[in-house]
Amino acid sequence: MNVKPIVILCFYISVLCGPVFAQGFANLGRATEGFTIPKLGYSFDFPADHGPHPDFQIEWWYLTANLKDAQGRDLGLQWTLFRSAMAPTEANDWSSPQLWMGHAAVTTPDNHYVSERLSRGGIGQAGVTAAPFDAWIDDWQMAGKSFDALTLRASGVDFSYEMELTAEGPLIFHGEQGYSQKSDSGRASYYYSQPFYKISGVLSLPEGEVDVTGTAWLDREWASQPLAATQVSWDWFSMVLDGGIRMMGFTLHDSDGSDYTQATWIMPDGHTIDYPDGAFEADILERTEIAGRSVPTKWHVRLKEQGVDVVVTAINPLAWMETSVPYWEGPVRISGSHSGRGYLEMTGY
């Protein structure tokens, strides 16, 4: 889920300095003084690691869900909490250097509803506790006795939702036991997911209340300066294929034209196969003009080692996130050698 470092690093810059966020990319090269750097061989500690790591610069709890309503319509939902630190400390008042940002969205074939919330840490307006698990910003919340059974809610001026999530498989770890490399120069993050959630609940939309069920995918990732300064954009795919197989793949584009890719093949029992740079391929088939930009909304995706050769099509090509740092995020349909549904996230367009 590689776009987030950019989003998160840009976010406080853009919030506080508005028009200069073009410089945000340059900020990726900024020294991360005092912050902890991810190391190979880290052994995760749960439930503590479901909670925040304030000594790392950036972190997120990122949930996407593919839903169906009673008419069989394909819908999507997003709930994200980002944490960004300006210093590797925390305080229990306004002086907290921890900043929080929430994004929530619902995507239907015809509409895309988005809302954003910002908060600083230290005062209780936003935060995460590991046990019992509770992640919140304002009235948005993802919480449960354990990570395996969660309730989820969020609302904007024109939508809201309340969902129940139940995990039907184990946590999976990307890269080398959760150490996910982002470039040849060794930049990396800690990255694990719960891709096996069953989800059901109610969406409140302008068209009325919609009962939905489906699958959800929760990403957890934290790092400090995980990107090289020249890594300017990202395409990230999560796929739930027929037969219970799941797959994650991303392409990181460098300003010199080279790409860095990674993929994880996830079997129904939770076993994973990690594919390093070069195995995962994604080519643009179609673009959509949106918000003055040309955004790819139909892709040709391959992972030859697993015989994957599919076309990935956006359910709603206009799923543009008009937030402090805008990006594209929405549900997709998969067809070809495999079929299924998934989520696509793109930034840098």
Partner 1 sequence: MTRLSLQALWSHWRRNPWQLLTLLAGLALSTALWSGVQAINAEARASYASAADVLDAGDVARVLKVDGSVFSIEEFVLLRRSGWLVSPVLEGETEIGETQFRIVGIEPLTFPAALPQGLQDAQGSVSLVSDAPIALAHPDDLPLLKGLDMQLRADATRPRGNLLMDIGQAERLLGAQGGIQRLLLSPEIPLDQNRLPDEFRVAQVDVQADVARLTESFHLNLTAFGLLSFAVGIFIVYGAVGLAFEQRRGMFRTLRALGVSLRHLMLLLSIELCIFALLAGIAGVALGYLIAAALLPDVAATLRGLYGAEVTGQLQLRASWWLSGLGMAFGGAAVAAFAALYKLANMPVLSFNHPRSMSLGAEHVSRRLAVLSVILFIAGTTVTLVGEGLIAGFFMLACLLIGSAIALPWLLERVLKFAQQHSTAPLAQWFWADSRQQLPGLSMALMALMLAMAANIGVSTMVSSFRLTFVDYLDQRLSSELYIAARTEKEAADIAKFLDGKVDALLPIMSVDVRIGGLPAEVYGIIDHATYRENWPLLMAEPNVWDAVAAGKGVLVSEQLARRQDWQVGDMVPSGDRLIGIYSDYGNSIGQLIMSDALFSARYPDVPRLRFGVRTDQPDAISSALQNTFNLDEDGLINQEDLKAFSLDIFERTFSVTGALNVLTLSVAALAILISLLTLATMRLPQLAPVWALGVTRTTLSRIELLRALCLASMTAVISVPVGLILAWVLLAVINVEAFGWRLPMYVFPADYLRLGGLTLVAAFLAALWPAIRLARTDAQSLLKVFSNER
Among 108, 119, 215, 233, binds partner 1 (CB under 8 A): 119
Q: Does 309 participate in binding partner 1 (rule CB under 8 A)? A: no
What is the C-alpha radius of gyration for the chain, rounded to an integer number of angstroms? 19
Q: Does 245 participate in binding partner 1 (rule CB under 8 A)? A: no
- Find out whether 86 and 13 touch, Cβ atoms under 8 Å: no
Residues 11-30, mask of contacts with partner 1 (x by CB under 8 A): -xx-xxxxxx--x-------
Among 36, 111, 125, 230, binds partner 1 (CB under 8 A): 125
First to last CA, the chain: 16
Residue 274's φ and ψ, nearest 5 degrees, are -95, 130
Among 34, 40, 139, 291, binds partner 1 (CB under 8 A): 139
Write down the number of H helices and E strands in the chain.
2, 23
Which spans in 118-239 are helix H?
Answer: none
Please choose, out of 41-49, 95-103, 211-219, 340-348, the segment that lies near partner 1 by the rule CB under 8 A.
95-103
Among 37, 90, 129, 153, binds partner 1 (CB under 8 A): 153
Among 111, 129, 155, 230, binds partner 1 (CB under 8 A): 155
Output 138 or 277, the one with its CB closest to partner 1: 138
Please choose, out of 85-93, 177-185, 246-254, 310-318, the segment that lies near partner 1 by the rule CB under 8 A.
85-93
Phi-psi region of 18 (alpha: psi -120 to 50; beta: other; left: phi over 0): left
Exposure string (b/e) for 169-200, b if CB count within 10 Å is 16 or more?
A: bebbbbbebbbbbbbeeebbbbbbbbbbbebe
Query: How far apart, in whole angstroms, are the C-alpha atoms of residue 141 and residue 90?
Result: 21
Closest CA to 310 of 302, 318, 320: 302
Q: Does 97 participate in binding partner 1 (rule CB under 8 A)? A: yes
Q: Does 86 participate in binding partner 1 (rule CB under 8 A)? A: yes
- Find out whether 50 and 218 touch, Cβ atoms under 8 Å: no
Residue keyed to tokens 């600083």: 120
- Other beta carbons within 10 Å of 158: 13
- Find out whether 76 and 319 touch, Cβ atoms under 8 Å: yes
Output 127 or 249, the one with its CB closest to partner 1: 127
Output 90 or 254, the one with its CB closest to partner 1: 90
Pairing of strands 172-173, 160-167: unpaired
Please choose, out of 58-66, 121-129, 191-199, 300-308, the segment that lies near partner 1 by the rule CB under 8 A.
121-129
Q: Does 118 participate in binding partner 1 (rule CB under 8 A)? A: yes
Query: How far apart, in whole angstroms, are the C-alpha atoms of residue 169 and residue 277?
Result: 27
Q: How far is the CB of 329 from partner 1 (least distance, A)?
A: 20
Please choose, out of 96-104, 247-255, 270-278, 329-337, the segment that lies near partner 1 by the rule CB under 8 A.
96-104
Output 16 or 291, the one with its CB closest to partner 1: 16
Q: Does 274 participate in binding partner 1 (rule CB under 8 A)? A: no
Residues 191-230, mask of contacts with partner 1 (x by CB under 8 A): -------------x--------------------------
**What are the tokens at 341?**
């549904």
Query: How far apart, in whole angstroms, are the C-alpha atoms of residue 228 and residue 28?
Result: 7
Q: Does 143 participate in binding partner 1 (rule CB under 8 A)? A: no
Residue ranges binding partner 1 (CB under 8 A): 12-13, 15-20, 23, 86-87, 93-97, 99, 115, 118-120, 123-125, 136, 138-139, 153, 155-160, 204
